[in-house]
Structure 1
């Protein structure tokens, strides 16, 4: 199989299609009424949704997130509902956390409910909408009062009264926080530039690996010698070599530019790679092709005519000729660079800043490829220190082939999660990786050979070291099959809940926790320990991600278990409070909200004390209400661990 251009086309198209990708209320509501006849009306509820957030529909399967729901005062007495609520068109995708198809709205949603009047004197209707909205970092669980005017007048929400009991219960929700100024600090500490630098570094690492392959490495001394010997003088040779390197970077950067000119992109497309079953299966097939090309069973190349044309154009001389020389290198080295670049970018890009991340990653990759040409032109004596081309480069390609094969099964695992086939449970997936890396260790020890391997006379130190490292990784993977958290592989194996053996627990990870603030506070005072206040939700996707991917890391788990009293307050808990605990709460806006469920109580508690309504949301504080640090939300392991550690040390 000499050419696999169709595979390349599919690969580039699928990668690039996936890389396209506030304060205030995330969802705002407006109402209107359409008169059908003297006794028939249609109530219209319109939701305006902030960009990158989505609102769930009214029909969500049991066990999923909170559906949008409407209640209307006077139903059955003053009017009756005709049929079900009719919704505008929604998006439907599979959710890995809830393991079900979920429907949601972006930007805007319209709900319509037909009614028939039973009371001809009725001129207005009061209603309430309860809903959940999420972005890729957090969720909110909220409600809003609705008012409908049937006589053409202004619709005004009827305010509830705050009696003495409500005033007393409302006052109990308010905390006398110390160090409250910490709430004004950024709770995310998220630096987009730092994120782009990380992607650049990943791309740079991939470029360094590509340099060691037989497609690129032999070109370094040949190209540098060409510039230094055929440019007339050393200064011009150095200039041309540096220009050659700059053009290499430019060529790779140009691949990402079209995506910066697309004005309107559906944010959810950036998540398709983890939710679309056929795309993940396609990636599995493509990466298996890449792997076996690295194993030497066939050559994966672009059409030879492309390289010939670019090579001919490079003879034009001057700046134009140097540009086409760089383009020739990019084309002829594709069989080695394409799979590496594709693997790194697909594995590292997130739903944030897709086009910028693509540019950062590709720039890092191109920069790593270009750097040796400039450096060796500046310091030609360094060429003597380069190792000779030889069989070691074939070994590098085969090792890359095993890594590509492992990554391929990651995509197949994604498809399995999406379709819920139940084939690649966590233990099965890890077992496949055990086989792959065990075979890699055997290859490095010389027990397995591939088509383009030459005679192996002796094992070098680096090869033996890599073989031992691979064998140790196999042991590490085996430990994961038997319950180890595998923090080094966070996000790669299927999540802990997708396991052959599942465990039920009232608290995350079996930790000791409280679901009532007053009970947890009393325990913290009795044991003189700081509090981790966890605002969460039963239907909060990112809350589960934090618990599974961050809390489960041993050093974080130990902090939670040993140094804190965990109080988890579920703001979407629909269980009703006892009658004597229900009350009306007046918000700062003047709106009076009826607190009748556990979730409404804790959502209000979060809003009035911490001025936020998103989850996950974490506070560390002493039992005396002294904040020990700025709030945290969806975070990486190291940031979260350092935050917990700093808080615990400050009270010792």
Structure 2
């Protein structure tokens, strides 16, 4: 296992070095020059090879003695469309007439600032940048003097960081922290993020998977806390390696691997894997390595142990890819950092450490299961079969994202009925009681599926509402948009603040937002004052990718906000699930009315 991890880290490191040879540093990609002319200030941005600027990110302002926007009154080179954006590929050359400055503010001294953001064709996007210059109008002469702003470097960095962080989202702040903090602090912070993520639904499906592995292993050998912890550690390390590789690739290439792993073909394939695992636990067959590979492994002194370790590592690796991480701010922040800087080493290690934090409960469960595992006996066969039923539940949970909701309810119903029938073979009164309760739930599910219910948590919804859908009159209505053009059109026509919800059918946290946060009465009341837009990125089409790239979104759920002045409110950006209280806190902080 050590050799595998070392190989992977060396691979990531060498890949990062290769990438860094191709990607320009920010000061190489964008060279800003201010030049004094007789009647104007010339601002020029020389672009490096394969570098382009976003047209809508270019801002030219007077910042002192008072902030005044100038860009709308200046003549900029004509931009061109590219990959769903409006951009500049040629060097940017802009003249700022002195007469314009005087017409805006009567002063002898002006601080001029240009803000911009750009990307490389290689897929790397740079963080927003800015440059400032001061223009002096001397009292006794007509000639103008242009001088650069000279600040103490540390003071400038502190001021810029403070002002930028006030307008950054939680995700962007995490990306900035990665860039500006010490390595040890970054790793400690991400380990803490992982611990927090371990209490989210992301990790729950892994608990029965790991437990089933330990129970299966205990049939063939005596289990104790040390062995249980070791097995859990192998599982967690493999899971962490999977997260790290997927995250680094996604960060470097901007690929939405979460979307790729959630398409119907992949989910059906993974569901079948869990069905096969379930039938293996039912005793119909045993999953083994191919005989040729197994023979080679068994030639070593610890062949049997290594074979078991390899199987656990494979399950941990697959579990990470199948279940997938929640697109929460820590993960998104790390990916944004990797995407902006190309620093796959620090970003990858941060993701690895975060994954270890997510695995802490699994390590505790493994050690506890190993310590308190009773002696082998006939009971283990029954427990193994129960875990087989749980594996079938995981398979349905995966399919639930891509199949018809009513069909999913039928599958849950059949699983509950099958579980109830299986438990009836045990004559213990507790087993009989549990079996009866599960059977009743299964029957309710069948009735709900026949009625056309779509929510397994509310199978009798249509009966309760007299056959009428439970949609309420005050339920939030989102308008779907498909591309950047439709988005800009909707924003320009809105007289209210705007919310854009990135959503997908396979996104579990998206459904939590819909069913919990957006059903809360206080949230509904608050959002009546907003224009609500929804971008369905289920298919991960080119237009979906362009929309997500525009706002630095690595995957749903994510919410982007605009104020009544049509300006994006970056500090309000939400990535991942927020409960009603947290969601309202974001609104109250950023939208006073």
TM-score of the two chains, using structure 1 as the length reference:
0.43
Higher helix share: 2
Structure (1 or 2) with the larger CA radius of gyration: 1
Q: Which has the higher contact order (CA 8 A, sep 6+)?
A: 1
